[in-house]
């Protein structure tokens, strides 16, 4: 019975270590990928974030005088709010601001993976070495 328990414990440690190593490797890879795209291949970064290159259709609403004769004052105020919201969206979701936000999100994801997986990996390697010494 002790031998079966020992095998299960050892298998558990090896599985957790392997999964943790995958997450650590993935986090390091994401950081390396982000750094390469930012410093050496900026055009690759520009093509990678689809949110930063798409705009919702606004048709003729950008021409603020297009509906003056056909709309009520309330509708015109709603259209003006829509245009203002669109301009705000455009500044936040296009250009360098969008790419910077996406880059920071990618770095945060990678660091989170590293900060969670590294202690688990180190702890289980330590526990496995301790078990092997017994």
pLDDT digit of tens for each residue in the chain (134 aa)?
778 988 999 999 999 999 999 999 999 999 998 888 888 877 766 666 565 656 665 555 555 555 556 777 887 888 888 888 877 777 766 667 677 777 888 899 999 999 999 999 999 999 999 988 87
**DSSP label at 105?**
H
CB of 49 closer than 8 Å to CB of 101: no
CA distance linking residue 129 with residue 13, whole number of Å: 10
pTM summary value: 0.63
Q: What is the pLDDT of residue 17?
A: 94
- The residues, ordered by sequence, that sit 6+ positions from 26 with a Cβ below 8 Å of its Cβ are 110, 113
Distance CA 43, CA 54 (A): 16
| 121 contacts 20 by C-beta, under 8 angstroms | yes
Cα 46 from Cα 96, distance rounded (Å):
9
CB of 51 within 8 A of CB of 102?
A: yes
Distance CA 6, CA 12 (A): 10
> Domain map of the chain by residue range?
2-53+94-133
The CA distance from 116 to 75, in Å, is 51
Q: Tell me, what's the pLDDT at 58? A: 59
pLDDT score, position 51: 58
């Amino acid at each position: 019975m002790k031998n079966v328990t020992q095998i299960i414990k050892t298998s558990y440690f090896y599985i957790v270590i392997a999964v943790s190593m995958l997450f650590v490797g993935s986090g390091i890879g994401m950081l390396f990928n982000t750094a390469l795209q930012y410093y050496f291949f900026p055009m690759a970064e520009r093509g990678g974030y689809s949110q930063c290159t798409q705009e919702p259709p606004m048709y003729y609403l950008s021409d603020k005088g297009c509906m003056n004769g056909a709309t009520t004052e309330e509708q015109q105020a709603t259209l003006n709010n829509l245009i203002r919201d669109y301009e705000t969206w455009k500044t936040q979701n296009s250009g360098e601001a969008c790419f910077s936000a996406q880059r920071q999100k990618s770095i945060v994801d990678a660091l989170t993976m590293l900060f969670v997986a590294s202690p688990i990996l180190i702890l289980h390697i330590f526990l496995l070495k301790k078990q092997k010494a017994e």
